């Protein structure tokens, strides 16, 4: 069964360091989402891609976060510099097209010390 | 404003009993979609079931069914014959109408614990 892949699964870093997360969506899925989830809360959308184009990054803290999906397949989310408040679960999801069901990867747990 | 409300922060249920998780939504548009996801402690968000607003019948997927009451704007998830592995967070989400980006609106979640 096709799955969304994410790496790393866990990341511990010190504040002010740079971190990067990778996501490989289900093959053929045009829409890719990055979410941030604080423990005990629902996911918060950070950025949405349609193929290689950004559809919405209005909730992405652009002073420190960046995201790219250069060839319209896999994607990277970067934080530089990391802050204590960035500690969270980062989830990647993909859908065939925007209106279809979103399927999620296993997530990356980030801890900033 | 379009909104999803899950009023049960946590639930304890005896193994093998049926479980109903509540979800109400707020929209005035006739066209929308509703989803339920399960999130175990491992963190992965697992898609369970979908209900479209124009679907005539309530959605079912194995032990999961959706009790869709359009007039009451509720889309409760029913889990039959609960198992220990059902212990997890459960999120209700909606595709809001009129949003061409199809971004989900999420509820706050319900933490379900199945007791042996």
Write a three-state SS string for B53-98: CCCCCCCEECCEEEEEECCCCEEEEEECCCCHHHCEEEEEEEECCC
Contact of A70 with chain B, judged by CB distance below 8 Å, is answered with no
Look at A41 and B108 and tell me if their CB atoms are within 8 Å.
yes
Predicted confidence (pLDDT) per residue in B101-113, tens digit: 778 899 999 999 9
Report pLDDT digits (tens) over B19-37: 999 999 998 888 889 999 9
What pLDDT, in 10s, does the model give residues A40-76?
899 999 999 999 999 999 999 999 999 999 898 999 9
A4 touches chain B (CB under 8 A): no
* Non-local CB neighbours of A57 within 8 Å, separated by 6+ positions: A46, A47, A48, A67
pLDDT by residue (tens digit) across B62-92?
999 999 999 999 999 999 999 999 999 999 9
Task: Return the structure tokens found at B113.
Answer: 């614990």
Quickly state the pLDDT bin for B96 (edges 50, 70, 90). Answer: confident
- Residues in chain A with CB shorter than 8 Å from the CB of B102 are 31, 95, 98-99
């Amino acid at each position: 069964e096709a799955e969304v892949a994410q790496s790393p699964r866990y990341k511990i870093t010190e504040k002010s360091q740079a971190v990067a997360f990778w996501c490989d969506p289900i093959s053929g899925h045009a829409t890719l989402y990055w979410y941030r989830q604080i423990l005990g809360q629902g996911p918060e959308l950070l950025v949405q891609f349609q193929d290689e184009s950004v559809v919405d990054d209005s909730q992405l803290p652009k002073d420190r976060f960046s995201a790219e999906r250069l060839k319209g397949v896999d994607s990277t989310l970067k934080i530089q510099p990391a802050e204590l408040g960035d500690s969270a679960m980062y989830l990647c999801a993909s859908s065939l097209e925007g209106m279809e069901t979103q399927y999620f990867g296993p997530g990356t747990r980030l801890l900033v010390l | 404003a379009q909104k999803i409300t899950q009023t049960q922060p946590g639930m304890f249920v005896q193994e093998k009993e049926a479980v109903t998780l509540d979800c109400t939504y707020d929209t005035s548009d006739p066209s929308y979609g509703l989803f339920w996801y399960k999130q175990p402690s491992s963190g992965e968000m697992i898609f369970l079931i979908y209900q479209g607003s124009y679907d005539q019948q309530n959605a079912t997927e194995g032990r999961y069914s959706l009790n869709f009451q359009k007039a009451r704007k509720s889309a409760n998830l029913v889990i039959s014959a609960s198992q220990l592995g059902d212990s997890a967070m459960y999120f209700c989400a909606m595709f809001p109408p009129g949003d061409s980006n199809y971004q989900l609106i999420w509820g706050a979640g319900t933490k379900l614990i199945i007791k042996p």
